[in-house]
Structure 1
Amino acid sequence: MLKEFRDFALKGNVVDLAVAVVIGGAFGKIVASFVNDVLMPLLGLVMGGVNFTDLKYVFRAAQGDIPELALRYGAFIQSIVDFIIIAFSIFMFIKMLSRMKKKQEEAPAAPPAPSNEEVLLGEIRDLLKAEK
């Protein structure tokens, strides 16, 4: 059973998937930082100094040890921007991979070498032609 697990875990697809998950997680952090630390402050500045993470609609203010009840739509807007940027980046990456794969497919493949049977049949044909 241990051998079967090792064979499964070391298959190319599993290792490729693990690498993709790790890289995807790191890419998500980079995009989140870009949105939170660069894009949203600039967008807030353009919109008159609004901080999107602070945008909320308060249903009930905090009273003593009862926390405030609020609809935090600014954080939701920020998550939407994160998603759009990540989705667009993935789209562009897949498009680039498809283009490279298409170029590889367009390259003409070398004709396959004749099999041993074809070579022998060719030699027999040539010998028969030479005898006539």
Structure 2
Amino acid sequence: MRYNKKRQIQEVRSMRNKMEKGLKKMKQKGDGFFADFKKFITKGNVLDLAVAVVMATAFNAIVTGLVKYIITPLITYATSGVSIDEWEWVIREASTDAAGAEIPKISVQYGLFLQAILDFLIIAFCIFLALRIIRNTERRLNAKKIAEAEAEAAKKKAEEDAKAAEAKAAEEAKAAIEAEFYANVREQSALLREIRDAMGRK
């Protein structure tokens, strides 16, 4: 009986330890999540996203105004006064049945679809131009940085070559001085030997 009670106590302690570990892991995950969210907020990504949404909304309004107030009237004028948003293919005209109830018209409004396509093409073209300008600017900046780096490397190499040439010239000059010194020593030694020999013969 005591053994079973002791075993039950151990099992309870084991379960409690497991629960504490699980809660600790959950807390760590939660802390990590909120820490990442805090980093996301403080890095300014949300602000950039909000600015992008506002700019996209304003740009969409500009494109819609361009299509509605400039392009559409020109197309209407070219098509004898028929607005592009009124272009449709009527499948069934509106009518009334025998009981006098109105039967609505059924039509395919391809004019509105073409207008949406026109909006999309204008937006896509503007985005393409913006990306092209950005890429060309980045390419020029990168080319400038590469040219500056190459010029700096060439300057550094020229300085290193000049230092190496100076060091080589200094070594050659030192070697020439040493050679001249040893030549003078040998000449003086030979002269002293001749004097010694001459004095010995006397």
For residue 59 of structure 1, give the secondary structure of its aligned residue in structure 2: strand
Check if 1:41 corresponds to 2:78. no
d(CA) in 2 for partners of 1:97, 1:90: 10
Equivalent residue number for residue 93 of structure 1: 130
Distance 2:63 2:105 in 1: 30
Could you say what secondary structure the match of 1:104 adopts? Answer: helix
Q: 1:19 aligns with which of 43, 46, 51?
A: 51
Displaced runs of 4+ in structure 1, greater than 6 A? Answer: none
Q: Which residue of 1 aligns with 2:143?
A: 106
Whole-angstrom CA distance in 2 between matches of 1:70 and 1:18:
39
CA distance in structure 2 between the aligned counterparts of 1:92 and 1:26, rounded to whole angstroms: 18
User: Could you tell me how far 1:50 is from its partner in structure 2?
Assistant: 1.7
% same residue: 37
Q: Give 2:90's aligned amino acid.
A: V
* Partner of residue 76 from structure 1, selected from 80, 95, 113: 113
TM-score, reference length from structure 2: 0.49
Aligned residues: 115
Give me the whole-angstrom Cα distance separating, in 1, the residues matched to 2:140 and 2:77: 44
Q: Equivalent residue for 1:53?
A: 85
Amino acid of the residue matched to residue 60 of structure 1?
A: R
Instruction: Flag the structure with higher helix content.
Output: 2
- When Rg is computed on C-alpha atoms for both structures, the one with the higher figure is 2
Structure 1 length-normalised TM: 0.72
AA of the residue aligned to 1:44: T
- Report the Cα offset of residue 52 of structure 1: 0.8
Q: How far apart in 2 are the matches of 1:10 and 1:42?
A: 49
Distance 1:109 1:44 in 2: 56
- Which has the higher relative contact order, 1 or 2, with Cα contacts under 8 A spaced 6 or more apart? 1
The residue aligned with 2:200 is: none
What are structure 2's unaligned runs of at least 5 residues? 1-30, 154-173, 175-202
For the residue of structure 1 that corresponds to 2:111, the secondary structure is: helix
Computed over aligned residues only, the root mean square deviation of the Cα atoms, in angstroms, reads 2.6
Matched, 1:10 2:42: yes
The code of the aligned residue for 2:119 comes to D
In structure 2, what is the Cα distance between the partners aligned to 1:81 and 1:102? 31
